[in-house]
Amino acid sequence: MKRDLKKLANEEYDVLIIGAGIYGASATWDAALRGLKVALIEKQDFGHATSANSLKIMHGGLRYLQTLDLKRVRESIRERRILMHIAPNLVYPMPVIMPTYSYKLKSRPAMSSALLANDVLSVDRNRSEDPHKYIPNGYTMSSKKLRELIPGYDKYNLNGGALWYDCQCYNTERLLLSFILSATQRGADVANYVKAVDLLQKNGKAIGVRVEDTLTGEHFDIRAKMIVNNAGPWVDDILASINGASTTKKFNLSTAMNLVVNRNITGQYAAGLSGPYRHVFEDGREYNGYRILFFAPWRDKTIIGTNHLPYSGKQDGFKVTEAEIEEFLDAVNNAHPGANIKRAEVSYFYSGFLPMTGTNPKTGEVNLVKHYKIYDHQKTDNVDGIVSVVGVKYTTARDVAQKTINLICKRLSIPMKKSNTDTTRLYGGDIDRFEEFLNHNIGDDPYKLGESAISHLTYNYGSAINDIYCYGQSDPSWMRFLPGTNEVVRAEVLHAVREEMAMKLSDVVLRRTDIGSGEKPGDTTLVEIANIMGHELVWTDERAKAEIEEVKQLYVPA
């Protein structure tokens, strides 16, 4: 995967996709797989913003049963199953527990009925022949059993618990990158750090985009027959000049924050725990209620979320504050007092934007947009050649991408080719039985890295693990671990620069490897990565120092 800006400037594409979050990445893959000439640009790094803000859960839609949104339940179940198939190294089942109480809707009988309905609606969830992807039926349990599974948890009126299975993603950043890598293998042209500055229009039709290479400041044009605006929270910025006037706002900002705690709190189970919620209105009114917080075990740590707040500032430069972390941590400890999480145990925090319809006038809570939107601006603004997408859920991005490219094919008046993104394996996904594949790799271990490191490489790279091993064949020193880790090898950094378009230190620390996904790497680790990248990208000492300082600041709240 090479960053070829000259080619972007010299070609005319069937479709240009703006924004490389999970929705843009999925749309690029779908378009490439159907044989369209497609380009993807992203103003920062692939998946740097909203898509990086994740509990790493691929939800099957159980919560939508509360509103009887059966269509959305089925959609979520289908997409969860597809993700396990096309990315078997990255997506796998995970048990989830929720306590039950004496209250009607939160009672054990009510949850038992919900789990039964969920099992009936997901009757086709186990089509895979891979036992690693098997999702059992849900069931309820006694309060004694629940306390055993969630040590230290005890609440008034607790009378049992419910257990069901969803899916977890080992590394959401690598999953997004797998869509992009797969697309480039099918001919897509992609580039990060290329910002859309202005739409190019002629006779009421969008014909391309004026862009800026944010690494050099240079400007050039990219021409395309159709444009897909997948810019997420920046979708309205792209539309600012359409038809000479701003369009109706598509994305009302709200923030969603998650915490990473440097301790496994709930064992092998994720847990949805009820905690108090308090909101004070500007006029002094106060609302007190409850909300569900999610505790997801991940790599000997726990990801906890999500704290939703309305937001009226600028997207660029947004940063979580220390006060927000401490306030949310108080809520977390009220939801699970037995966990007794200290501020020093919060090893990382991250936040992104989600579209909201507004806030609840009675509770002050954010009302999130429930369904994705695909806007054809020929119909809404009388401007041909551009489509905008506002997504709401990571799990269903592939399905929305398929519908988006269906529309693009229709607008281009070309024969509609069937989308095969539901069955075609992604980069690294050519694995039929994952546990057998993993055990084979552990037994093979050509560089004697040990079980933990081989597991890490197998999950992150899957069937493409030899893309990393090959560096050791020319120089065994590339298979040495980076300082401060017994999992991430130096070859991963080199591969990220040469083959995965890593341009900045943060690209490697947070999105090509997972060395910084849960906590700040040590100084010696950052220096080693910067040395490898600097040699490849010809950085000055000043540039390397600036890159290191920039990464350090990512772990410091405002």
In the block, tokens 């546990």 appear at 435
Q: At what angle do helices 466-474 and 490-499 cross, to 10 degrees?
A: 110
* CATH number, domain 442-553, options 1.10.8, 1.10.20, 3.40.50, 1.10.3470: 1.10.8
DSSP 8-state class, residue 554: T
pLDDT of residue 247: 73
Q: How many CB atoms lie within 10 A of CB 72?
A: 18
What class does CATH assign to 5-51+173-247+381-412? Answer: alpha beta
Q: How many CB atoms lie within 10 A of CB 128?
A: 17
* Radius of gyration (C-alpha) of the chain in whole angstroms: 23
First-to-final CA distance of the chain: 35
Q: Which residues of 142-160 are buried (b: 16+ CB within 10 A; e: fewer)?
A: ebeebbebbeebeeeeebb
Two structure tokens written together for 535: 């040699």
**Domain locations along the chain:** 5-51+173-247+381-412, 90-168+252-368, 442-553
pLDDT of residue 246: 64
User: Cα–Cα distances in Å, from 383 out to 34, 41, 205?
Assistant: 25, 21, 5
What are the beta bridge partners of residue 373?
Answer: 390
90-168+252-368 belongs to CATH 3.30.9.10? yes
Q: Which helix (H) or strand (E) holds 121?
A: helix 108-121
pLDDT of residue 105: 74
pLDDT in tens, the chain (558 residues): 999 999 999 999 999 999 999 999 999 999 999 999 999 999 999 999 989 888 999 999 888 888 888 999 999 999 999 999 999 999 999 999 999 988 777 889 999 999 999 999 999 999 999 999 999 999 999 999 999 999 889 887 889 999 999 999 999 999 999 999 999 999 999 999 999 999 999 998 999 999 999 999 999 999 999 999 999 999 999 998 776 666 788 999 999 999 999 999 999 999 999 988 888 888 888 898 889 999 999 999 999 999 999 999 999 989 999 999 999 999 999 999 999 999 999 999 999 999 999 999 999 999 999 999 999 999 988 889 999 999 999 999 999 999 999 999 999 999 888 999 999 999 999 999 999 999 999 999 999 999 999 999 999 999 999 999 999 999 999 999 999 999 999 999 999 999 999 999 999 999 999 999 999 999 999 999 999 999 999 999 999 999 999 999 999 999
DSSP string, 326-392: HHHHHHHHHH-GGG---GGGEEEEEEEEEEEEEE-TTT--EEE--S-EEEEHHHHSS-BTEEEEE--
3-state secondary structure of 73: helix
Task: Indicate the length of the chain as a whole number.
Answer: 558
pTM: predicted TM-score of the whole model, two decimal places: 0.96
